Structure 1
Amino acid sequence: MPKISCSVNNCHYWSSGNVCDASQILVTSDSMSKSQAQTVDAPMAGSISATPVNSSAETCCKTFVAKGSAQKTDDGVTRQ
């Protein structure tokens, strides 16, 4: 997997050096993210419709899970 940079250090997948250690991620449009449950994540990417945007400001990462959260295994994404 390519190196993914992330500065959200309260995420379960965040690693020192601002690196995302998630086994997979889902980046989608802000509008799609707001309309879906928190549990819609990377393992479901193949069933999600395309969500075109006009700029990076309209995108978000759906793979966020707070550090220490009991929900860190809900979506099947793991730390590498």
Structure 2
Amino acid sequence: MSKSFEVTLQKVVDHSYSIEIGEHLFASLTRDLRQGLIEGASKYAIIIDSTVEPLYGRPLLELLEELRANPVT
């Protein structure tokens, strides 16, 4: 004689992440990326608006291009 029963499994996924807000964060961003903040990441996105772009867009893009040109070995 056999008996059948259901096993309920719940999958819990935590997609939380930290956001750092402050001043003069480009230096720490450079350090974090060079130290492998996001292991295996090869692409990044800059998401800004028309207010932030003239202030930080170009410098941040140049920083990321410099990191790409001089990767950690």
**With structure 2 as the length reference, what TM-score do the two structures score?**
0.28
Which entry has the higher C-alpha Rg, 1 or 2?
2
Larger helix share, 1 or 2: 2
More strand, by proportion: 1
TM-score, L = length of structure 1: 0.26
